[in-house]
């Protein structure tokens, strides 16, 4: 049956050698639509933003080439530099606190107790609310004279606070809103992680006489690490992006006390119509985000390897 044997290699089969068809070249056509979308929605805006950042362009005015002037101005712009510090401060608090509280909540909700399902549902309710609506409600509650929060403080004998109406307390107060809103997300991620952990290590540890605290430090935490990293990445991205709640509650005030990079960028682009300068802010902000993302991804790789 040698004659009926088919082989891909014509030469080996003694038939006339044929050119190998390069199917990859044909497959490229399938990539074109997707590539066009990526070019149009990601690459082009980025190239255009870079281009704009090299120009002095005010909406309604002329456009002139400015070279790196916008970047030089940024380096010397105290308001921008402080907005970076505020962003990092806000992000650090808005990541660490929900991570800790989310972990504690996940551990609590992982245990079995009466009406656990209802308690879980109530806990995740804030996450479902629209950020702008949440921000408006909190704004009313923060009013120093008429807000319910100061009334509650007075009921338990504590002095009233100025909340978002003081430069000293505005960032921690905004973080409080962020924590209330997004701790449930961290809890959900970690609760999923806890549910997937194997029971064998715990049984072995129990036989060896490990205390619950030791079991938590030496078993739960290392096994939960990949989930913690995922939660950390999501929270960091969210906190860096935070805009709606801050803008609605304080618009960056009092003064510039809560002006993060996003607020600064928004004002430059859509209040001052200074599009060239705003584009330079976008480029610098993007560089910061890339740097943070690399650190987080490096952390994730290390956790995975460990």
Partner 1 sequence: MTRGITRRTALAAGAGLLAAPPLVREANAQSAFDWKRFAGQRIEVSLTANPRSQILIQNQREFEDMTGIRVGAEAIPEQQHRQKFAIEFASGRPSFDVVGISLHVNKRQVGKARWCTDIRALMADPAITAPDFDFADFGAGAVAYSTQSDGRMDTLPEFTDYFILYYNKELLAAQNVAPPATYDEMYESARRLNDSRRQIYGNVGRGLRNANVVLWSSFLLGTQQRDCINAERQLITDTPDAIWAGEFYKKLLRDCSPPGVSGFNWNESQTTFMQGRAAFWLDGVGFAAPLEDRARSRVAGKVGYAVVPRGPAHHHCAMFGTGFGIAEASQKKGPAWLYLQWATNKTNQLRFLTSGAGSPARTSPYRNEEAISQSRFSREFFATLVESARISRPGLPEIVPVTEFRDTIGAALTSTIGGADVATELKRATDAFRPVLEQSERAG
Residues forming the site for partner 1 (CB under 8 A): 58-62, 143-146, 160, 162-167, 170, 250-256, 267, 270-274
Give the shortest CB-145-to-partner 1 separation in angstroms: 5
Comparing CB distances to partner 1, the nearer of 217 and 272 is 272
Q: Measuring CA to CA, which residue among 96, 263, 248, 264 is closest to residue 172?
A: 96
Comparing CB distances to partner 1, the nearer of 144 and 226 is 144
The C-alpha R_g of the chain, in whole angstroms, comes to 28
Give the shortest CB-161-to-partner 1 separation in angstroms: 9
Q: How far is CA 11 from CA 2, 22, 131, 198, in A?
A: 15, 18, 68, 56
Comparing CB distances to partner 1, the nearer of 72 and 218 is 72
Give the shortest CB-121-to-partner 1 separation in angstroms: 34
Comparing CB distances to partner 1, the nearer of 102 and 252 is 252
- Determine the angle formed by the axes of helices 131-142 and 170-195, rounding to 10 degrees: 130
Residue 57, beta-bridge partner list: 63
Comparing CB distances to partner 1, the nearer of 273 and 298 is 273
Residue 274, beta-bridge partner list: 58
Give the shortest CB-173-to-partner 1 separation in angstroms: 11
Query: Could you give the CA distance from residue 172 to residue 208 in angstroms, rounded to a whole number?
Result: 44
Our CA angle for 213, 218, 223, nearest 5°, is: 115
């Amino acid at each position: 049956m040698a004659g009926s044997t088919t082989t891909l290699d014509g030469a080996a089969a003694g038939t006339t050698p044929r050119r190998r068809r390069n199917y990859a070249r044909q497959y490229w056509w399938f990539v074109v639509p997707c590539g066009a979308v990526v070019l149009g929605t990601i690459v082009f805006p980025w190239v255009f933003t870079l281009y704009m950042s090299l120009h002095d362009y005010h909406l309604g005015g002329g456009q002139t080439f400015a070279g790196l002037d916008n970047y030089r101005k940024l380096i010397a712009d105290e308001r921008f530099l402080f907005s970076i510090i505020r962003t990092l401060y806000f992000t650090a608090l808005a990541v660490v606190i929900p991570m800790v509280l989310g972990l504690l909540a996940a551990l609590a909700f992982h245990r079995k107790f009466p009406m656990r399902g209802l308690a879980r549902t109530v806990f995740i309710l804030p996450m479902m609310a629209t950020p702008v609506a949440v921000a408006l409600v909190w704004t009313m509650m923060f009013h120093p004279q008429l807000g319910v929060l100061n009334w509650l403080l007075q009921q338990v004998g504590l002095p009233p606070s100025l909340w978002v109406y003081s430069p000293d307390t505005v960032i921690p107060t905004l973080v409080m809103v962020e924590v209330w809103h997004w701790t449930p997300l961290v809890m959900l991620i970690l609760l999923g992680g806890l549910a997937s952990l194997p029971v064998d290590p715990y049984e072995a540890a129990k036989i060896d006489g490990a205390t619950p605290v030791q079991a938590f430090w030496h078993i739960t935490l290392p096994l939960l690490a990949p989930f913690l990293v995922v939660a950390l990445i999501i929270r960091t991205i969210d906190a860096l992006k935070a805009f709606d709640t801050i803008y609605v509650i304080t618009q960056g005030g009092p003064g510039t006390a809560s002006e993060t990079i996003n607020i600064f960028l928004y004002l430059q682009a859509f209040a001052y119509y200074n599009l060239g300068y705003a584009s330079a802010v976008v480029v610098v902000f993007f560089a910061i985000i890339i740097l943070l993302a690399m650190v987080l991804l490096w952390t994730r790789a290390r956790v995975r390897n460990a």
